[in-house]
Amino acid sequence: MRRYLIPNEGKFYKANLHSHTIMSDGSATPEQVKEVYKNMGYDIVAYTDHEVLLDQTHLSDETFLALNGVELGVNGKGTPDWANMETCHINLIALEPDNLKMIYWKRGEYTYAHAVEHIDEVQYYEEEQELERFYTGECISQIMKRGRECGFFVAYNHPTGSLENYSHYTNYHHMHALEIYNGRDEYNPRVYDDMLRAGEMIYCVGGDDNHNRPQLTSGSGYSWTMIKAEKLEYRTITQALLDGHFYASQGPEIYELWFEDGVLHVSCSDAEKIEFITYNRRSKRLHAPEGGSLTEADYSVNPDSKWVRVVVTDHRGKTASTNAYCF
């Protein structure tokens, strides 16, 4: 029986799941961010300003969905120099539109840039108002766990840009997803494979981390997440995130992904290469003939592969990455 790993029914919605505005350290208003992304063909933006969880659902309409979110930072204490400081950034996207309470707040301790102007607008859990953040695997995992418990989709952001390595991120637990793409340049396939091989069966997402400077469109339209859902409605979309009904991309499109009779099948836009990456050395790479393209591929899944994920590379070198799947 055919098992669709990305649902056969529904529609793909293009989403930027990591966005900043003048509510923290961005240069565009929430309304301007909406306009920029609608003009680029996006359907969804998660507003994840630093340290302030604010309601942006008034921006939603029939063709655009605003998701409420926040990005929390946990900084290392080794150096005051930001350029050399190790840090961990975590996106929390509210699963319900009215879920507007911050976790691990300690009012004023971590807020910076224009976020300080909105401190009185933020709701938070009273019992957590004095909790501090420590740059340890234990504390960061606790924050991620608390995020899940409080109704958020939890994503670990830009490990490369955070100067983190294997010794850091393999100690982080309870996230839903890793940001495999961040903006124009950051691509983290090795980090994703490291975490999967360490036993963290998580998803992978893409986002711009846009700050829209120096120009309004700067930093937008480079990384995204394609979410398959029945309709453009808040809870339907966040449920699709929880269910893993999406793939991440910087260009290529994935049309179908299904498993039947031991075979994993993918169909996609014109590709130069299609890879099936596994836990072990049973990976498979297919290249298009010279001057041609691949638009589909099959992979016979070996039972000891543990998990398989698919990467599609187009002729510009841009990739699309599926989540990892167990069979």
Question: Sorting pLDDT into bands at 50, 70 and 90, what band is 196?
Answer: very high
Report the C-alpha gap between 262 and 69 in whole angstroms. Answer: 39
Task: Look at residues 125, 108, 126 and name the one whose alpha carbon lies nearest to residue 117.
Answer: 108
| Paired sense of beta strands 319-322 and 246-249, if any | antiparallel
Average pLDDT over all residues of the chain: 96
What stretch of H or E contains 266? strand 263-271
**8 A C-beta contact, residue 75 and residue 81:** no
Convert the pLDDT of each residue in 216-240 to its tens digit. 999 999 999 999 999 999 999 999 9
257-327 has the same fold as 10-250: no
Convert the pLDDT of each residue in 11-58 to its tens digit. 999 999 999 999 999 999 999 999 999 999 999 999 999 999 999 999
Convert the pLDDT of each residue in 261-313 to its tens digit. 999 999 999 999 999 999 999 999 999 999 999 999 999 999 899 999 999 99
**Averaged pLDDT for residues 182-201:** 97
**8 A C-beta contact, residue 321 and residue 189:** yes
Report the C-alpha gap between 17 and 224 in whole angstroms. Answer: 7
The pLDDT score that the predictor gives to residue 157 is 98
Q: What is this structure's pTM?
A: 0.96
Environment class of 150 (CB within 10 Å of its CB; exposed 0-12, middle 13-18, buried 19+): middle
Q: Which residues pair with 187 in a beta bridge?
A: 181
Question: Sorting pLDDT into bands at 50, 70 and 90, what band is 78?
Answer: low
The pLDDT score that the predictor gives to residue 258 is 98
Q: Where are the domains of the chain?
A: 10-250, 257-327
Report the C-alpha gap between 72 and 135 in whole angstroms. Answer: 12
Question: Quick count: other Cβ atoms within 10 Å of Cβ 178?
Answer: 24
**8 A C-beta contact, residue 169 and residue 89:** no
Question: Quick count: other Cβ atoms within 10 Å of Cβ 292?
Answer: 10
* H helices present in 127-260, as ranges: 137-149, 166-169, 189-197, 234-243
193, amino acid identity: D
Report the C-alpha gap between 327 and 319 in whole angstroms. Answer: 24
Annotate 53-78 with b (16+ C-beta within 10 A) or e (fewer). bbbbeebbeeebbbbbbbbbbbbbee
- Return the structure tokens found at 1: 């029986």
Report the C-alpha gap between 309 and 322 in whole angstroms. Answer: 6
- Return the structure tokens found at 20: 């900043």
Question: Sorting pLDDT into bands at 50, 70 and 90, what band is 79?
Answer: low
3-state secondary structure of 177: strand
Taking 90 as the threshold, does the pLDDT of residue 169 lie above it? yes
Tell me which residue has tokens 């938070």.
Answer: 124
- Return the structure tokens found at 311: 């990467």
Report the C-alpha gap between 273 and 115 in whole angstroms. Answer: 43
**Would you say domain 257-327 falls under CATH 3.10.50?**
no
Task: Look at residues 284, 282, 305, 306 and name the one whose alpha carbon lies nearest to residue 294.
Answer: 284
- Return the structure tokens found at 110: 């971590």
The pLDDT score that the predictor gives to residue 118 is 93
Question: Sorting pLDDT into bands at 50, 70 and 90, what band is 108?
Answer: confident
**How many degrees, rounded to 5, is the angle at CA 239 between CA 119 and CA 247?**
100
**Would you say domain 10-250 falls under CATH 3.20.20.140?**
yes
